[in-house]
Each structure stands twice: as structure tokens, then as C-alpha cells.
């Protein structure tokens, strides 16, 4: 299985574009396994996203340009962006606010909504300080279901990233087990997959049991989502849940 997701599937008229990846492959589920929703914000200028709730969502804040001051109902206040990522495990109840500091550069990145393994887990907030902003020509495992990573999802979900330098090629990393479904997302730049599929910024492919070779004519920033569609998940999250 190999399905392209074009940027025409994004919805939203404001600075935050929303992708429900399941709409590319299903008529019944807006997500794919535990991958519920992907937001791609591009926010210019100082902005406050006021305190708002999440219930049964696990949200990874992956901001690559700009910065924001995060505060939440667990008492955390911290600047995030570029080298500081954040995973909010909302569980049964969680509130947070973001103050975007936009004098020098806009805020751009991903807000990744992952479905939890179970309903009403205890809320938790985890921060990750990266050694380098980018992992060049090498896949970096950022989150997994195990203690091997600082970010630990409650569902069978893995998240990787890589900056593929212009003129380079790469395959998909060795996945934890067979039978997993993957979504390869172009955050910046453009790539060619298997010498036949061209993807640009805000486009993706979904695949399962496929040999994938990626080439980049110029530098490209990539994010790889991996999910076990047979794993236990809760599909009723406020934002990550099935919207149909």
C-alpha cells in the first residue's frame, strides 16, 4: 500500500492548517491508527493562544522556527521551540496556553495529535532538549511507546525526523516490527519517493510493507510517523479522536 496525501487535504482558513490523514485512505476514520491529526501552524507576530482544554489527546509540539512560552494546568511554564520540544499527555483533563514571541521570526512547526492507548490516563507534561536542531542524513527517533525515548506515547506509536541534505538519498529506518503503517511528511523542501512520486512541503505518503527510497534535490526536513493499526487506542479524544 502506498497513498499520496496532497496539501489540498488540509483544512482551516487561518494560520494553522489541519490535516486529518485518515481522509486519504478511509471513509470511516479521520485518523490512521493512533495518528489522529497533524496541525501545521505558521503564525506571524506576537500571538496568545489562550488557555484551552484537551481531553484524551497526546500532543507533541514540534516547533522548528520561532518560539513560544508554554504554560499549563500542571504548573509548567517553559519556552519551547527549535531545540526544546514538548509532549503533553492530556489524559482525563488538561489545560494549556501558548504565548508566541514573534518579533524576529514566525512560529512554524507541527502540533501532532496522537491517540492514547487508553481513556482517562493521568495528565503529564514532558520536555526534550535536543543536542542539535537537525539530524542531518540520519533518522532520529524522538518518541516511542518504550522508555528508550524521553517522549513515551501510551499507544503503539513512533516518531522520527531527519534533515535530508540536497543531493542525498535515504531509506526508511528499520521499523520496530513488521506490519506497521507509516506516514512520511514533508515539513520543508521537496523530495522524490521511489523515483516516481514527488512530494513538496505539506504533502505526505502513507505506506505499509513497501520499500521506500527518498531523494532530495535540495535540503528537505522530514517527519516520519509510524503506527500499529492493530494496537489498542482510544478514538474519542477531543482533537485526536475520530471526527466522524
pLDDT at residue 222 above 80? yes
Radius of gyration of the chain (CA): 17
pLDDT in tens, 84-119: 999 999 888 788 888 887 667 889 999 999 999 999
Domain ranges of the chain: 7-227
* CATH entry, 7-227, from 3.30.1490.100, 2.60.120.10, 2.30.30.830, 3.40.50.1100: 2.60.120.10
Name the strand (E) or helix (H) holding 180: none
142: Cβ–Cβ under 8 A, 6 or more apart, which residues?
60, 62, 85, 128, 149, 151, 159, 160, 161
Mean pLDDT score across all residues of the chain: 94
Half-sphere exposure of 59 (CA within 13 A, CB side): 25
pLDDT in tens, 158-212: 999 999 999 999 999 999 999 999 999 999 999 999 999 999 999 999 999 999 9
Amino acid at each position: 500500500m502506498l497513498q499520496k496525501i496532497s496539501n489540498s487535504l488540509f483544512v482551516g482558513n487561518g494560520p494553522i492548517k489541519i490535516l486529518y490523514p485518515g481522509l486519504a485512505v478511509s471513509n470511516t476514520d479521520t485518523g490512521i491508527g493512533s495518528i489522529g491529526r497533524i496541525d501545521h501552524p505558521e503564525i506571524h507576530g506576537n500571538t496568545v493562544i489562550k488557555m484551552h482544554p484537551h481531553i484524551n489527546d497526546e500532543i507533541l509540539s514540534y516547533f522548528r522556527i520561532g518560539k513560544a512560552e508554554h504554560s499549563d494546568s500542571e504548573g509548567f511554564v517553559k519556552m519551547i521551540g527549535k531545540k526544546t520540544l514538548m509532549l503533553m499527555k492530556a489524559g482525563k483533563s488538561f489545560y494549556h496556553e501558548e504565548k508566541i514571541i514573534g518579533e524576529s521570526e514566525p512560529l512554524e512547526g507541527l502540533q501532532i495529535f496522537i491517540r492514547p492507548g487508553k481513556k482517562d490516563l493521568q495528565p503529564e507534561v514532558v520536555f526534550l532538549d535536543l543536542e542539535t536542531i537537525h539530524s542531518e542524513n540520519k533518522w532520529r527517533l524522538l518518541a516511542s511507546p518504550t522508555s528508550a525515548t524521553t517522549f513515551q506515547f501510551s499507544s503503539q506509536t513512533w516518531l522520527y525526523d531527519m534533515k535530508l541534505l540536497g543531493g542525498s538519498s535515504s531509506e526508511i529506518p528499520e521499523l520496530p516490527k513488521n506490519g506497521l503503517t507509516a506516514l512520511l511528511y514533508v515539513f520543508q523542501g521537496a523530495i522524490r519517493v521511489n523515483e516516481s512520486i514527488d512530494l513538496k512541503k505539506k504533502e505526505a505518503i502513507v505506506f505499509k510493507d513497501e520499500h521506500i527510497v527518498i531523494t532530495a534535490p535540495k535540503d528537505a526536513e522530514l517527519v516520519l510517523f509510524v503506527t500499529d493499526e492493530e494496537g489498542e487506542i482510544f478514538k474519542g479524544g477531543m482533537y485526536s479522536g475520530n471526527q466522524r
